[in-house]
Chains A and B, each alone.
Chain A
Amino acid sequence: MPPKRRGAQLFMLALAVGIIMAAYASVGIGMDGQVPAGMLTYGLGLGVLMLIAYLVLAKFAPWADPLILPLVTLVNGIGLVMIYRIEQAPWRTGASATQQITWTAVGIVMFTVTLVVLRDHRLLQRFTYTAGALGVVLLILPLLPFIGREINGARIWINVGFSVQPGEFAKLALVVFFAGYLVAKRDVLALVGRRLLFIDLPRARDLGPILVIWGISVGILVLQKDLGTSLLLFGGFISMLYIATGRTAWVLIGLTLFVGGAFLAGQIFSHVGHRFEVWLNPESNEFYERAAGGSYQLMEGLFGLGSGGILGTGLGQGHPYRIPLAFSDFIFPATGEELGLTGLMALLMCYALIVERGLRTALAARDPFSKLLAGGLSFILAWQVFIIVGGVTNLIPLTGLVTPFMSQGGSALLANWILIALLVRMSDAARRPPPQAIQDEGLTQVMQR
């Protein structure tokens, strides 16, 4: 019977809130030589919210993993501080800490609501196909006239009084769908098929879903110009397929399909092609000076990272706001300039630990649906971090995605806090001791009689 570790969790939460407040104070001292006026208000606000989240968690998921919530809080808080810092730039950058604080609060509330409402996550299995349909609808929404909006070249927004990125929620719905679908079909998918050379080929009708998902991904890429979400979804699906069936062939086929699709897209659409050129040679002046699809933004990020070096310039003392979109897509290099290599490694370790706790939950889960759902959610989180962080640090071609919990944006924060709530819910189930076998002799006697 694992310990609950609620005390440790409370301590870690307090530590996370403390670090965030210290970072917030550090921005003010770095910029004006004094602690920002709102430090105590915001700090107390965040503290109270976390206390509520903690109490709800202790009540409704007492066996939950103690590390996940503090880690997420820390990453979310560092993101908040960076957005606040970028907002303090000498000119308007588009960063809004107030907005992000509000969304963070809403996110934490959503986290608690999800924990309270969803007492047993296996309920979700019943809504497999509903979730699938919902996911597809959410993905298609931005393409609709009137409500769909194209911002910064990608059509992934809808406006319903305020702007929402439905794709962030679609991500969750689709993972639920994949998990449910694969649990139902995994035996068929794993066992039936023909062997051609070294690859076990699936049957055509089983191949269908893969092709459908691939089609949707490519559709997003083409119609919404969103390489990031397309890559994210397809990678998530392939990984879950692999977890469910254990067949490497699927991964290979999937990769081939995706790389082929991306290659074709690169040939056909200049904006995709530019990403590849820039990735291979970002430092070239030709790309640096190219107005659209050039390497300017990427290089600004790299210059910032270089200037930050190992220890960083210190919060409030660099120029991270000079990177276009430093508060959203490029928040990671912006953080790297002021917190340095040390800060970025700590941040990556936080993400890695969250993912690790998620995967541990998946391993410990007792039913296939839970395993798939927890594994899928964890992988998709890791995969998203890899795509966006790898992109802005030029490890892989750049695609636009939010950095989970850090980038400014309500939809992503909400969706990711719900994702965390699901993981916490499942970790509670996984770590909860199995119901005790009846051992009372007297009662047994009664039964025998």
Chain B
Amino acid sequence: MNGTLKRVAVACMVMFGLLLLNVNYLQAVKAEEYREDNRNFRRFFQRYENQRGRIIAGNEVIAESVDTKGDIRFERRYRNGRLYAHVIGFFAPESERGIEAAQNKLLDGTSADLVVRRAVDLLTNKPTRGADIELTIDPRAQRAAYESLRRAGRKGAVVALDPQTGAIKAMVSLPTYDPNELAVPNKGKVAQAYNKLDADKDQPLLNRAIETTYAPGSTYKVVTTAALLSEDDTVGPQTTVDAPQVLDLPGTSVGLPNYAGAACGSGRVTLQFALEKSCNTPFAKIGMELGYEKMKEQAARFGIGEPLQIPLNVAPSSIGKKEDDAALAMASIGQRSVQMTPLQMAMVAAAVANDGTVMKPYLVDKVVSPDGDTLEETEPDELSEAMSPDAARKLRQMMVSVVAQGTATAAQIPGVTVGGKTGTAETSDNAPPHAWFIGFAPAENPKVAVCVFVQSGAAGDRATGGGTAAPVAREVMQAVLRR
């Protein structure tokens, strides 16, 4: 029987050989494919294996990963999630948003900057931790912006900047959501929560401060004024301009009236008066006289049209394509084709405050390694020169009088010189207007520039920049100035 036994032994050898070949095929050749397969839940767990870095604003830890010791190791938790939702975003099972997305590689520790750290961790058998991200957000300003905007209306955005550096002190968008709901490590629950938010007609997921643009209304007159000041340096606050009750628009049968059809002084007023009262006709006329190219050039010098990463992506603002003079007249008062993000309007205010220099806005102050070393620190960076320091000074003076005795008295802070400009932007036919305010304080040495935007309908049919938006701006500026 030895002959047949030997053949059976060969058969056994062949069987084991096949098994060995097969596991080699599976674990060496096909391994990658199986690892990367979407249905392989291990990809999902991988996201929770390493402790992500924290996100910090001021002294507050607003996002951190908590060790559950469970199957899903580190769960992401957001403190005051609704307050910071649009800034930090969320770390969902299959995606991420906001700072969580923009700084993902640093937060999860896979960034090349952390490669040495990771190697050390591997050798010392310590679990890898991601870097902490310190934001420029000032929690007091953020909370003030959130609370006062909520009082003013359910929808809108607030952006506060340090005009000298571009650091974003507050960025709020309403309505908001709780990022914790989208960060639970359960795809089904997250999909359900996300779909609910996504279907909400109030668009809570939308970051109104940077992700979409709106007609800025009269706040845009600051840009138009800047264009005039840049064009002719003899022009000043006391220069007189035409201010008819109704401006004839060339090529149309309709005229452009002032707000509520009111007269603007005697029909010939100072530039300062026109800005204080926010008359439409003088600025529409100035825009038409300067022409599209000059208006566009001035806009570009404020950074309008420039794609920005702060490091979140900012939707580009725009004054629209070249059309006829009637369209240009409307554009010069922030209507028609002019579309701005609240961040962009805050940058306009900041440029005026900062002697005409536009600083690049940014949200991340520092990146700190798990053992406390600063890996990156954002250096303030100049984006552009919007106007000469002289023109900026004149514009500042005019904006101060807008707050002192014009449409924006609600933005006054006792003991502080505040400059600003209101906007009440018409939207589509018969819809309530957007209420805007841009401003800065203190005028002599500006520490904060702010833009408040209250969306159409959120504050009732009679919303105005002065009545609705300016008080919000005041509270935010006070919070930054600690007053």
Chain A residues packing against B (C-beta within 8 Å): 89-91, 239, 242-246, 283, 288, 299, 302-310, 318-319, 322, 336, 340-341, 344-345, 348, 351-352, 355-356, 359, 362-363, 368, 371-372, 375, 378-379, 382-383, 385-386, 389-390, 393-395
Residue-wise interface mask of B (40-71) relative to A, using a CB-CB cutoff of 8 A (1 in contact, 0 not): 11100100000000000000000000000011
Q: Is A242 touching B4 in the complex (CB atoms < 8 A)?
A: yes
A355 touching B12, Cβ below 8 Å: yes
Q: What residues on B are CB-neighbors of A348 within 8 Å? A: 16, 19-20, 23
Is the pair B71, A90 in contact by a Cβ cutoff of 8 Å?
yes
Alpha-carbon distance between A96 and B35 when the two chains are bound, in angstroms = 29
User: Are B39 and A307 interface neighbours, CB within 8 A?
Assistant: no
Residues of B within 8 A of A386 (CB): 15-16, 18-19
Q: Within the assembled complex, what's the spacing in Å between the Cα atoms of A319 and B46?
A: 11
Given contacts A90-B71, A375-B1, contact A393 B31 (CB under 8 A): no
B interface list, Cβ under 8 A from A: 1-9, 11-13, 15-16, 18-20, 22-24, 26-28, 30-35, 37, 39-42, 45, 70-71
B11 / chain A contacts, CB cutoff of 8 Å: 239, 379
Chain B hits for A309, CB < 8 A: 27-28, 31, 35
Complex: how many Å from CA A302 to CA B33?
10
Cα A386 to Cα B18 in complex, Å, equals: 9
- Once A322-B41, A359-B5, A375-B5 are accepted as A-B contacts, the answer to whether A306 and B19 lie under 8 Å apart by CB is no
Are the C-beta atoms of A305 and B31 separated by less than 8 Å? yes
Cβ contacts under 8 Å, A89 to chain B: 71
* Given contact pairs A307-B34, A307-B35, A355-B12, A243 touches B42 in the complex (Cβ within 8 A): no
Kindly identify which residue among B2, B18, B20, B26 contacts A306, using a CB–CB cutoff of 8 Å: B26
Residues on the B chain within 8 Å of A341, using CB: 23-24, 27-28
Q: In the complex, which of the residues B1, B3, B22 has the most CB atoms of chain A within 10 Å of its own CB atom?
A: B1
A355 vs B15: C-alpha distance in the bound complex, in angstroms? Answer: 11
Main SS at interface, chain A = helix
- Taking the closest CB of chain B, its distance from the CB of A342, in whole angstroms, is 9
B residues less than 8 Å from A375 (CB atoms): 1, 5, 8
Known interface pairs A283-B37, A288-B39, A394-B22; 20 further A-B residue pairs with C-beta atoms within 8 A, sorted by A's residue number: A90-B71, A239-B8, A243-B1, A303-B39, A304-B42, A305-B26, A306-B32, A307-B31, A310-B27, A319-B45, A345-B20, A348-B20, A371-B1, A375-B5, A378-B12, A379-B8, A379-B11, A383-B15, A385-B16, A393-B26
* Distance from A307 Cβ to chain B, minimum over Cβ atoms (Å): 5
Contact A305 B34 (CB under 8 A): yes
- Docked Cα-Cα span, A422 to B52, in Å, equals 57
Q: With A and B bound together, what is the CA distance between A378 and B6 in angstroms?
A: 12
Given A302-B34, A306-B30, A309-B31, verify A382-B40 contact (CB < 8 Å).
Answer: no
CB neighbours (8 Å) of A394 from chain B are 22
Docked complex Cα distance between A394 and B27 (Å): 13
A352 near B12: Cβ-Cβ < 8 Å = yes
Q: Which listed residue, B13, B22, B24, B37, touches A303 by the CB 8 Å rule?
A: B37
Please determine whether B12 and A382 come into contact, CB atoms closer than 8 angstroms: yes
- Selected A-B contacts with CB under 8 Å, 11 pairs: A90-B70, A303-B41, A306-B32, A308-B31, A319-B41, A352-B12, A375-B1, A382-B15, A385-B16, A393-B23, A394-B22
- Tell whether, in the assembled complex, residue A368 and residue B41 are in contact, meaning their CB atoms are under 8 Å apart: no
